[in-house]
Chains A and B, each alone.
Chain A
Amino acid sequence: MKIIVCIKQVPAKDAPLTITGNWIKESDIGFEMNEPDSFALEEALRLKEKHGGEVVALSMGPERVKQTIKEALAKGADRGIHIADDHFAQLDPLSSASALAAAVKNESADLILTGLQSDDQGFGQTGVLLAALLDRPHATLIMAIEAGEGKLKLKRELEAGWFQWIECPLPAVLTIQSGINKVRYATLKGIMAAKKKEIAVLTRESLGVGSQPTQKVEKIYVPVKTKKTEFLTGTPKEVAAKLVEKLRFEARVI
């Protein structure tokens, strides 16, 4: 089975965000693999271990994105594709998906996996749009994959604790729900092996993908608070005492 995993690099979870217009200041902060995508990568590696084949890690963004592709290679992906693009953060979901679709069109992969959504922009559309642009069937929020002959049996998560089994023919696009598996760490051997693995570099120009944005992020900002929060300060003991008093006599909930 040939599997392409779309992996985004996002600001590290605890990175302090400084807003500049419609994006954040990227210097001085660390970046990491988008956590939901790490579950998709893990699922791809497990499918390969079980059924054989190849795992290709695909990512888009500036030069720093190579580090995340290398991490995927160290974990066991066979090769990488980097769509080098310094303006990736300014693209709307349809434009990003168009570039990714163009990059994988001639790969004839059996399966394309993405995470549920990105932890930065959180559009949550890439997988579904890839399926639309490549005219493949898709399913989202997948919690289990059983591979059969030319098709998959998939467990989809619905809301409020409901699930559904569905059948999906191959080739297909799936978005993976976080928590489907336990993500592995890269081993030292894997990190060494990754150094010899190929990362192909493409651009939107070389792929012949223009950009006709359908939407624009005008600005980002710290949300306006809807509630007035009373902050309690002091030593842990003082704070605890104040909180218990507030909850008993002010909020009257305990």
Chain B
Amino acid sequence: MKILVITEQRQGKWNNTSFETLAAAQQIAAALSATVSVLVIGKGVDAFAAELAGKNVSEVLQVENDLLADYTPDGYCIALKQVIESAKADLVLFPHTYQVRDFAPKLAASLGKGMVGDCIGYRSEGGKLVFIRQMFQGKTAADVTFLGDGPWFASFQSGAFRADQVTTAASGAKPIQKITVELKAEQIRTKPLELFKEAKSAVDLTQAPLIVAVGRGIKAPENIPQAEAVAKAMGAELAASRPICDEGWLPMERQIGSSGQTVAPKLYLALGISGAIQHVVGMKGARTIVAINKDQNAPIFEIADYGVVGDIFEIMPALTEELLKAK
């Protein structure tokens, strides 16, 4: 079996989830006696290919084209379809990034295949691969298998595997194969314009050692001060899950999760946060996680060190008082 890992880079920088997926591929390859090829796509990506050549893979595929300088779903799909067909890959793995969500299902469909996205792990059952993904916002897990012949397409969620577990090449750099693809400017229908960040974030939550975060359970904007009081008593920064920022109850810059900031504080106190995947990927690296939620089945408890099943509106004032007392 041949596994092909599609890495992601933008403007001279890796998306580090690429290496988590490479680690996953190496582990699957070891379990199934498969080979791993790793691919980098873009324009002027020699340095990226050279870095990949130092990893424990059988080959590096470098796809270069002027029209691939900026990401477009059309450009990537047309180019990668050719590479996957000629490389005869059986399993194509992606990091589950926003970019991958944007093109990988279309790429798979262009080959008449399906994709299992956002996986958190895999199992090998008698040589058959079972992919594990979440459903119902993380309340359940699901075992998913592919039907029919490959190539099969799957993506792994950020944090599902560890980038530092990528093994390096035992003997010298691996061969880099430069691949030319047929691609015409008129085949690319969307036109990427400028990249930008919204008003520079005044709050850098990534540097905060203590974070108190609120979710839907806070119910209304007038309840935010209660959470603020807890944060203040603790000396913590206040953060939130996406719905709270979408509602405008806290500014976007205080959002934790896949579309906000990714943090790894000493303490993360989650108040009325259910623990949907999009939020958890942004905070599961915290050293100590405390969750307070009225629903004992909330997925946040799966990653919590300390849990309280209860009403945050009763616990927040009590907690503020105890914190102030302890000072």
A-side residues, CB < 8 A to B, are: 11, 14, 16-17, 19, 22, 24, 92-94, 97, 119-125, 128-129, 131-133, 137-141, 153, 157-169, 177-179, 212-227, 229-233, 236-237, 239-241, 243-244, 246-248, 251, 253-254
Contacts and interface: CB of A to CB of B under 8 A. Distances in A.
B242 A17 contact: no
A142 to B, nearest CB: 11
A139 B322 contact: no
Contacts of B308: 231-233, 239, 243
Nearest to A151: B191
Nearest to B296: A231
A214 B153 CA distance: 10
Contacts of B317: 236
Given A97-B109, A178-B246, 7 more contacts: A122-B133, A128-B105, A214-B114, A218-B130, A239-B315, A239-B318, A240-B315
B214 to A, nearest CB: 16
Contact of A132 (B99, B110, B306, B310): B110
Interface string B61-80: 00000000000011000000
Given A161-B201, A168-B189, A236 B314 contact: yes
14 contacts: A131-B106, A158-B99, A160-B261, A167-B190, A214-B147, A215-B145, A217-B142, A229-B301, A230-B307, A232-B307, A237-B321, A240-B322, A241-B318, A254-B267
A227 B197 contact: no
A229 B304 contact: yes
A119 B144 contact: no
A128 B314 contact: no
Contacts of A19: 140
Interface string B182-203: 0000000111111111100100
Q: Considering residues A122, A225, A226, which has the most beta carbons from chain B within 10 angstroms of its beta carbon?
A: A122
A223 B301 contact: no
Contact of A164 (B196, B262, B288): B196
A158 B321 contact: no
B42 interface: no
Contact of A179 (B245, B287, B305): B245
Given A160-B262, A162-B197, A164-B195, A215 B147 contact: yes
Contacts of A227: 289, 302-305
Interface residue tally on B, bucketed by range: 35 or more
A239 B195 contact: no
Tell me the dominant secondary structure on chain B's binding face: mixed
A248 to B, nearest CB: 6
Nearest to A125: B105
A14 to B, nearest CB: 7
B116 interface: yes
B32 interface: no
A169 B190 CA distance: 7
Contact of B315 (A16, A22, A122, A236): A236
B105 A129 contact: yes
Interface in B268-327: 277, 287-291, 295, 297, 299, 301-311, 314-315, 317-319, 321-323, 325-326
A43 B277 CA distance: 25
Contacts of B135: 120-122, 220
A161 B254 CA distance: 11
A217 B143 contact: yes
A151 to B, nearest CB: 9
Given A164-B194, A165-B194, A227-B304, A140 B319 contact: no
Contacts of A131: 106
B190 A129 contact: no
Contact of A219 (B105, B142, B198): B142
A254 B210 contact: yes
A235 B148 CA distance: 56
